[in-house]
């Protein structure tokens, strides 16, 4: 008989993002995962695989959620500079939401995993590329609306690099 899961898989992934962000990939034990995520060891492995597989799923969920937030900001944007400020403020707020600062999940992952975890670093780089695209689109929007010479400088340096 197949057991039904008694937990929300996405909510568990969100908790895992916070745990990995706070402690890092290497600094998080399977025991800490089960305790923090509130699931049994068998549920952890049956649902997410090993710790590395879970971390990959966490990165993909983080990418999806963050990209969705960036896309929503960009789509609502009427002032590119203000939208960029909102994104930076959102990022800072996310790093300092708790009493203990956590830093950027993606930057923390790169620092910890490079150069030995090429596959994971490629996932992180893919996330960062999505962020770069949104910023580039906002800069182009600012250039079109003629808001500032800063946009022209930024877009030109991006095109020539």
Show Cβ contacts of residue 151 under 8 Å, excluding neighbours closer than 6 positions: 80, 81, 139, 140, 142, 143
143 lies in some domain: yes
73 lies in some domain: yes
CA 93 – CA 111 distance, rounded (Å): 21
1 lies in some domain: no
In the chain, which residues have pLDDT < 70? 1-5, 101, 146-161
What pTM value is reported for the model? 0.78
Q: pLDDT value at position 158?
A: 56
Q: pLDDT value at position 160?
A: 52
Q: pLDDT value at position 73?
A: 92
Q: Which of 130, 150, 131, 126 is nearest to 140 (CA)?
A: 150
CA angle at 45 for the pair 94 and 38, rounded to the nearest 5°: 50
SS3 80: helix
Question: Into how many domains does the chain fold?
Answer: 1
85 lies in some domain: yes
Q: Which of 137, 136, 132, 128 is nearest to 63 (CA)?
A: 128
Range of the domain at 48: 9-160
CATH number at residue 60: 1.10.357.10
Taking each helix axis from N to C terminus, what angle separates 51-76 and 30-37, rounded to the nearest 10 degrees?
50
19 lies in some domain: yes
Q: pLDDT value at position 3?
A: 60
75 lies in some domain: yes
CA angle at 69 for the pair 68 and 73, rounded to the nearest 5°: 115
3 lies in some domain: no
* pLDDT 10s digits, 24-44: 999 999 999 999 999 999 989
| Exposure letters 50-77 (e unless 16+ CB within 10 A, then b) | ebeebbbbbbebbbeebeebbeebbeeb
SS3 151: helix
């Amino acid at each position: 008989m197949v057991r039904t899961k008694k937990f929300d898989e996405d909510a568990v992934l969100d908790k895992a993002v916070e745990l990995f962000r706070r402690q890092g990939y290497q600094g998080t034990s399977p025991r800490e995962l089960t305790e923090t995520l509130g699931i049994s060891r068998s549920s952890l492995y049956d649902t997410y695989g090993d710790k590395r597989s879970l971390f990959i799923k966490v990165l993909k969920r983080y990418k999806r959620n963050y990209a969705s937030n960036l896309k929503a900001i960009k789509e609502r944007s009427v002032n590119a500079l203000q939208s960029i400020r909102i994104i930076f403020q959102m990022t800072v707020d996310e790093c300092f939401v708790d009493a203990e600062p956590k830093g950027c999940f993606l930057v923390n992952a790169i620092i910890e995993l490079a150069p030995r975890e090429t596959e994971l670093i490629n996932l992180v780089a893919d996330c960062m590329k999505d962020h770069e695209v949104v910023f580039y689109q906002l800069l182009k929007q600012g250039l079109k609306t003629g808001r500032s010479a800063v946009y022209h400088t930024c877009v030109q340096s991006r095109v020539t690099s």
